[in-house]
Structure 1
């Protein structure tokens, strides 16, 4: 498909997602990173230029998009501790049938997860290339943000978990060395076999805990996150916003603010249509 087709698909998905989930009277809105988000901000600006709405970016690039659109940015750490975002819009590198996502191709995964977990609902916008049944079907690796000093230890541990040739991500100009995130951390890209969803484990398609070479999405995310030196993993799974709110209502001791999985994913298709996947 041509670049024109892909960009048209992104714009169509963004427009529909904003139409369905953006409230012109909102107070705080999260804005993610990546090329698709440019079209989300474009659609938001068309819907409202309310100066009272504060837009929380997930990194330098998304802040520039907000400012260029004439909207009002606010830093994530400027929010009051009890403030939840009305909604957060972001893209994804790949999405499975359970709405689990791989993110971090643009190296903003830590701040993207912070913003997603601070939102009452996270809405994902993507093009048809990102629509898969299982993660690591088309997208080749899991991005992992790590402390620079820990790179050798984490690379070794990832191989133990079953990753084949995990690699430190370099800048496009090789002589400039490793790519640095907004936190001055590095990114490791770790290939694994196609990940299972919970239904696969329940139906006996694999144990999902790595013992037989198969990993279920959340189990692998937890295993990687537990490694010393790992700041964040580019797998968005587990709870979504409404699920997290229900959990907090039953147990006030829960520290979870919100979920990291989207409630809905809008895929712009090659034929100009938009396909919607929602939480079951």
Structure 2
């Protein structure tokens, strides 16, 4: 599985595998979005096929997660059909020492926040580069906005001291559209002093659906590192 792959990819595999190995039979699993989480989904599929894991159901946070889960044979369910989520596995763009996160680089943070917040245990899978002393220092904050409200929301965010930019598509003319049919603003605030307060303030702006600050949601952070060209995983 790891032959010929670069150390960073191998490290992402190892972090994803470490998270997937914490899933027990009979669990309902929140399936996050992104490259590291994709390896966790792959590993869950392998454990199911081998018989090591049985009777799990996944709740996907995005179209990408749904497609991957189907490819790897993980049965899916919806929030309408379940009364709990036992464990969720997801990545992050930044993680601070209090395990607060910035997420949304893949524009799936609204669904991710719903699923990850509902989970009994939320495991974050990241590489060492995502660890920061303060949120907002290396990554802009994604904010999902209703299309009709983009201009007034941008003006409101500027009054808060943020610099919003409409996220544009790659290999697509025009803006990125989320799975909910909305647009994403990437907002540069610099170091965020009070993530909990900013999360609420932004979500109170009319037209904002959700933002990428995850405060007090993560339970476990698994960090992948490369030491002497060998991947390792530790708990932060």
TM-score under structure 1 normalisation?
0.77
Where does 1:92-107 land on structure 2 (aligned, <5 Å)? 92-107=92-107
1:180 aligns with 2:139: no
Paired residues in the alignment total: 226
1:262 aligns with 2:200: no
Report what 2:23 is aligned to. 22
CA 1:173/1:47 → structure 2, altered by over 3 Å: closer, same or farther?
Answer: closer
Aligned to 2:85, the other structure's residue is in SS state coil
1:9 deviates by: 1.7
Report what 2:84 is aligned to. 84
1:276 aligns with 2:232: no
Unaligned segments of structure 1, at least 5 residues: 197-215, 239-260
1:51 deviates by: 5.8
TM-score under structure 2 normalisation?
0.91
Between 50-59 and 84-93, the greater mean CA deviation after superposition: 50-59
Distance 2:138 2:122 in 1: 23
Match for residue 61 of structure 1 among 47, 61, 64: 64
For 1:33-87, what per-residue CA distance to the aligned partner results, in whole angstroms no more than 9, with x for missing partners? 01111110122223334563111100100001100101111233x324xx11110
Where does 1:124-135 land on structure 2 (aligned, <5 Å)? 124-135=124-135
Cα RMSD, aligned residues only: 1.5
1:228 aligns with 2:184: no
Report what 1:199 is aligned to. none
Report what 1:189 is aligned to. 186
Query: Which consecutive aligned stretches of 4+ in structure 1 deviate over 4 angstroms post-superposition?
Result: none
Distance 1:171 1:46 in 2: 33
Return the structure number with greater strand share: 2
Distance 1:227 1:167 in 2: 16
Distance 2:40 2:171 in 1: 30
Unaligned segments of structure 2, at least 5 residues: none
Where does 1:89-238 land on structure 2 (aligned, <5 Å)? 89-139=89-139, 141-164=140-163, 166-173=164-171, 176-196=173-193, 216-238=194-216
1:121 deviates by: 1.1
